[in-house]
Amino acid sequence: MSDVSRPSPAAVPVETRTAVVIPAAGKGVRLGPGAPKALRALNGTPMLIHAVRAMAASRAVSLVVVVAPPDGTAEVKSLLDAHALPERTDFLVVPGGETRQESVKLGLDALPPDYDIVLVHDAARPLVPVDTVDGVIEAVRDGASAVVPALPLADTVKEVEPATVTGEPEPVVATPRRARLRAVQTPQGFDRATLIRAHETVTDDVTDDASMVEQLGLTVVVVPGHEEAFKVTRPLDLVLAEAVLARRRLNDGF
Ligand code: C5P
Angle between helices 47-56 and 73-82 (to 10 degrees): 60
Nearest CA to ligand 1 atom 6: 122
Q: Which of 25-29, 140-144, 157-161 has the lowest mean pLDDT?
A: 25-29
Task: Give the mutation target among 100, 206, 211, 234 for probing the ligand 1 site: most ligand atoms within 8 A of CB.
Answer: 100
Bridge partners of residue 172, in order along the sequence: 160
Beta strands in 113-230 (DSSP E): 117-120, 146-152, 159-160, 172-174, 182-184, 188-191, 220-224
pLDDT for the residue 68:
95
Taking CA atoms, 205 is separated from 103, 184, 212, 215, in Å, by: 13, 17, 10, 12
How many Cα atoms occupy the beta-carbon half-sphere of 142 within 13 Å?
9
Closest CA relative to residue 157, chosen from 179, 133, 175, 136: 175
Phi, psi of 51 (to 5 degrees): -65, -40
CA of 122 to the centre of ligand 1 (A): 7
C-beta of 96 in contact with ligand 1 (< 6 A): yes
Determine the average pLDDT of the residues in 20-35. 88
Closest ligand 1 atom, residue 233 Cα: 3
Q: What is the pLDDT of residues 101-129, one digit of tens each?
A: 999 999 999 999 999 999 999 999 999 99
d(CA 28, CA 23): 12
C-beta of 209 in contact with ligand 1 (< 6 A): no
pLDDT for the residue 7:
45
Question: CATH number for the 15-149+182-252 domain, one of 3.30.930.10, 3.40.718.10, 3.90.550.10, 3.60.150.10?
Answer: 3.90.550.10
CA of 24 to the centre of ligand 1 (A): 6
Closest ligand 1 atom, residue 36 Cα: 12
C-beta of 68 in contact with ligand 1 (< 6 A): no
C-beta of 37 in contact with ligand 1 (< 6 A): yes
pLDDT for the residue 14:
56
d(CA 38, CA 123): 6
C-beta of 120 in contact with ligand 1 (< 6 A): no
CA of 180 to the centre of ligand 1 (A): 27
Per-domain boundaries in the chain: 15-149+182-252
% of the chain at pLDDT higher than 90: 83
Q: Do 97 and 106 touch, CB atoms closer than 8 A?
A: yes
Does the predicted TM-score (pTM) go above 0.85?
yes
C-beta of 38 in contact with ligand 1 (< 6 A): yes
Q: What is the pLDDT of residues 195-249, one digit of tens each?
A: 999 999 998 889 999 999 999 999 999 999 999 999 999 999 999 999 999 999 9
CA of 105 to the centre of ligand 1 (A): 12
Phi, psi of 153 (to 5 degrees): -95, 145
C-beta of 70 in contact with ligand 1 (< 6 A): no
C-beta of 106 in contact with ligand 1 (< 6 A): no
d(CA 41, CA 150): 26
